[in-house]
Every structure is written in C-alpha cells, then in structure tokens.
Amino acid sequence: MTELVRLTACDIVDRLRAEALTPLDLLDALEARIAAVDGTVNALPTLCFDRARSHARSLMEKPVADRGRLAGLPVPIKDLAEVAGVRTTFGSPIYRDHVPDRSDILVEHLEAEGGIVYAKSATPEFGAGANTFNEVFGATLNPWDTTRSAAGSSGGAAVALATGMAWVAHGSDLGGSLRNPASFCGIVGLRPSPGRVAHDPGVVADDLLGVDGPMARTVEDVALLLDAMAGEDPRDPVSLPREPDSYRDAVRRPGRLRRVAFSADLGITPVDPEVAEICRRAAHRFAELGVEVVEAHPDLSEAPETFQTLRAAGYAASHLAKLEAHRDLLKPEVVWNIEKGLQLSMRELIAAEEARGRLIAQANAFFDDHDLLMTPATIVPPFPVEERYVAECAGKTFDTYIDWLAIAFSITLTTCPALSLPCGFTSKGLPVGLQVVARPRGEARLLGGAAQLECLLGLRDETPIDPR
C-alpha cells in the first residue's frame, strides 16, 4: 500500500496498461489508506467502494486498449457534482439525503475514459467560501497542520491528494475554489479555460465563471487527468472540442518561453509579505532557463467590483428557490450572496458585463508580449480552521467574505487558464502555491511552462504526507 500511494498517477496508468496492476489492486490500497488517515482530516466523507469495484470489474472485461485514457485509475468526485446512485449533498443540509439517479456530464466523461469513482470529496455549502466546512460533515483539516484550513471549495480533493488518498482528483473553480486548496495543501490544481471541460450547465447555461478541472500531485498528472476530462458535449453549450494534441505531450515536450511576468498583487490586493517573497523567488527561477522575467501585470483594477456583481447575480439565479424554501438551512454567507444578487439593478449588470469585456481584452493584449503571468495563488498561508474566512491581510480589513480571493477571481474574469504550483514553504512549514496563468485556451503552454518550473523547484516528492 505504501509503495502504491506514493506513485504518480502517470506511473499507475502505465502499470495498468501493462497489466502489472489492476483497478481492484488500487481500490484495495485506497480503502486501506483512507481507513488509516481520513479520520484525522475528513476529506472524503462519502465512499462508494462497492460501486467502484463493480465498475472496475466491468472495465477489466475489456481489452486494455479499450479502457480509456485512465485505464482504471480511481478518481474522487467533488460533492458538488452528482454521481448516479451515490449520496451527493452539495455540502448542504437541504440535500443531506440526496441520492441522484444520473451523473453529471463530467462524471460520465471520466467514467467513459476509464476513471473509477470511489468517493465524494468534501466541499463547503454550494462551494461558497474558501474554507471547507459544512453542517453535514463538519470541517476538513489541512494535513500539514491540522489546526489549519485546507481552503476551498475543493478542499477535500486537495487534502486527499496531499495525504495519498487519491492520485488525481476532480475539482471545480469559480473564484479560486480549485487553486486555493491546491496552494494550501502543496499540490497542483488547474482551472481550465471555460468550456474546456464539459459539465452540467445548471441554471446559467452560458456561465463563464465556474469551471471543472483536474487536481493532482504533479503537473504531468494534472495533464493526464485533463486529457480525460476535456471535450465537448452538446448538453453543455459552451463546451469546446478536444484539442488534437494531448496535454501530457505538452508537459513532456514543452515549447520555448521567451518572457514571463510576475506580480505580487496584480495591483489590487494586499499580500502577506512572506508569501509574496516566496512566490517572487520561485517565479524568478525561470531566468535559469534563459527566460526573461519581468515584474508586470495587465490592468485588472475593475475586477473586484465586476466579480462581486457577476458572482452575486449567479448566486441569485442558482439559489433563489433554496432561499425561499429553506432560508433557515443556508449558511449566512450564502444568504448574503443571494440577496446581494437580488438587489442588483440592470445598470449594474450592464456595467459588469462591459467591464468583463475590457478585462478579457486587456489580458489577451498582455499575453501578446508575455508567455506566462505569475502571482501568489493565495495572499496568505493556511489560516486557523475555525476562522470562516480571511478578514484581514497586511493591515487591510476586508468588507466581504470573498474579498481576500481577488488575486484568484480576477484571473477568473479574464477566461485565462490558471494553475497553482507548489513553490515553497513558510517559516512555519506551511505550503505556498504560485499561480501560473496563460492566454485564454492556452492550457498546453501553461502546463508546459509549469512543468519546467516544477523541475527547477524540486518539490515534487514533498507529498503524500501523513497528517501532522
């Protein structure tokens, strides 16, 4: 078991294809690892190993060449995405006993590619708030220091990866929900361009803010999972066709970079000085490859107000019925966000859409002259888990529970793909992630560049760990 959980996902898939391992071997190893460590961190509150073994046996009846890109690799699904026959709560007491009879599009695609679903990973209620706790399952704890937050909303996925309870994991990201926990837990998380991964569209059918994406312990493992997740589906109106070349190949044969940029704050947010310095040192390591490193960023000054408006409108559209029927079961942050959306005027919505158009144009213009942009993935190191959110940083007090996420949600608005890469540790031994960003739909360049920096930083073997 110890040997298996330490292998990379790519190593595991190679062994599955060589029939040196079976999916059942992997499920046995995961079940034992979960029994050993999840009681301490609470990352995978719902398990479905009977369903997983049934799927594994069916997959093993096929020739190896027909078992998909994942070939039987187990994958946990975040508890915001439905899995047929498996309890799916969305982190809310409203759905405490909800068992769907169909799976989300992204789950269908993963299973078609040989992914074996064995667990649901923890999330805050409806993904709101970058700290993974809810009234159904309690809090998920950071394995580097179990008094600390794992961030969110893909906190359970990140913790499962960091502790060896998963080789890859599904996550989702609206304002940093995939990048923040990757940063706090010392693993890799990729927010793809909107449409890259097809999913159930929900109430807002053309939403460009929320996306699903891959999480893993290495950049190449993230690329492997993205290869399996990517592709269009007619049920998702913004989904994109699969690109002709694989993302794993982009990692193995990365293109040459000329100039990359670093910004500690994007000109819009305070940042913990230690976090900023760790990220700056990591970004400047690109100079060792002959790449010009400059300090610059696009003009994102309109992003905070724009995101607050568009997020609130989305929350009102998606959750108004829940507010009317179950207000007493919703956490206060969700109630506030829905009500903020209901109070918006048409002028405010028009202004936000106009600003979003400018932000996308400015980001594209920036990437005419820069191959990548780098920033801290989060502005603080992991904070005490009992704090619902970050209320202050570097002397600045925030007005709302999402203000501290500006360095991530500003990139969301540009439609650029963004990745959190482990880049160092604080003086207290807590992980710090570097946000790496590329031009919209530039996942191949992003993954190739991140893989080059990952090699320079030499942190790939820091996980998995036992909770501390």
Active site residues: 78, 153, 177
Chain CA centroid to CA 87, Å: 21
- Please tell me the distance from the alpha carbon of residue 454 to that of residue 423, in angstroms, as a whole number: 8
CB-CB contact of 215 with 169 (8 Å): yes
**For the packed helices 9-17 and 219-229, what is the interaxial angle rounded to 10 degrees?**
60
- Please tell me the distance from the alpha carbon of residue 313 to that of residue 317, in angstroms, as a whole number: 6
Structure tokens at 318: 């998606």
Amino acid making up residue 331: K
14 Cβ neighbours under 8 A, 6+ residues apart: none
- Please tell me the distance from the alpha carbon of residue 95 to that of residue 106, in angstroms, as a whole number: 20
Per DSSP, the residues of 274-317 read HHHHHHHHHHGGGGGGT-EEEE-----TTHHHHHHHHHHHHHHH
CB-CB contact of 91 with 126 (8 Å): yes
70 Cβ neighbours under 8 A, 6+ residues apart: 13, 110, 113, 114, 115, 116, 224, 225, 228
- Please tell me the distance from the alpha carbon of residue 45 to that of residue 60, in angstroms, as a whole number: 27
Q: What pairing do the DSSP bridges indicate for beta strands 259-262 and 292-295?
A: parallel
CB-CB contact of 463 with 4 (8 Å): no
- Return the C-alpha torsion angle 259, 264, 379, 274, nearest 10: 110
CB-CB contact of 264 with 280 (8 Å): yes
Encode burial over 83-113: b for 16+ CB neighbours within 10 A, e otherwise: bbebbbbbbbbbbeeeeeeebbbbbbbbbeb
Phi, psi of 53 (to 5 degrees): -70, -35
Q: What pairing do the DSSP bridges indicate for beta strands 259-262 and 372-376?
A: parallel
405 Cβ neighbours under 8 A, 6+ residues apart: 130, 175, 176, 180
Give the single-character DSSP code of 83: B
